[in-house]
Amino acid sequence: MATLHSERNWKIKNYPDDHAPPHFHVQTPDGESLVQIEGLVVLGKGAETKALKAALLWARVHTTDLWRVWNEQNRRN
């Protein structure tokens, strides 16, 4: 598991050998949301709304990094 970014009450994480579609996890004390990298589509809601919005703003700027980490950690042999 890689923590790509962390702020006050939220973290963006990526897990190795994770399921499709390519996505990242936004974790908050209240829960976790999955966000598809392509288009930043929220797939599962559980994270606190304000924190999720802040994480999506960060992700818009760092989409290239999200793809790079996904591809590094989810190589299929």
Examine residue 35 and state whether it is found in any structural domain, yes or no.
Answer: yes
Examine residue 12 and state whether it is found in any structural domain, yes or no.
Answer: yes
Examine residue 14 and state whether it is found in any structural domain, yes or no.
Answer: yes
Task: Please state whether the predicted TM-score (pTM) of the whole model is above 0.85.
Answer: yes
Residue 77 scores a pLDDT above 80? no
Range of the domain at 18: 2-47+66-73
Examine residue 32 and state whether it is found in any structural domain, yes or no.
Answer: yes
- For the stretch 34-59, pLDDT in tens is 999 999 999 988 999 999 999 999 99
Split into its structural domains, the chain has a count of 1
Q: Report the pLDDT value the prediction gives residue 5, as an integer from 0 to 100.
A: 94
Contacts for 50-57: CB closer than 8 Å, 24+ residues apart: 51/8, 51/9, 51/10, 51/26, 52/10, 52/26, 52/28, 54/7, 54/10, 55/5, 55/10, 55/12, 55/26
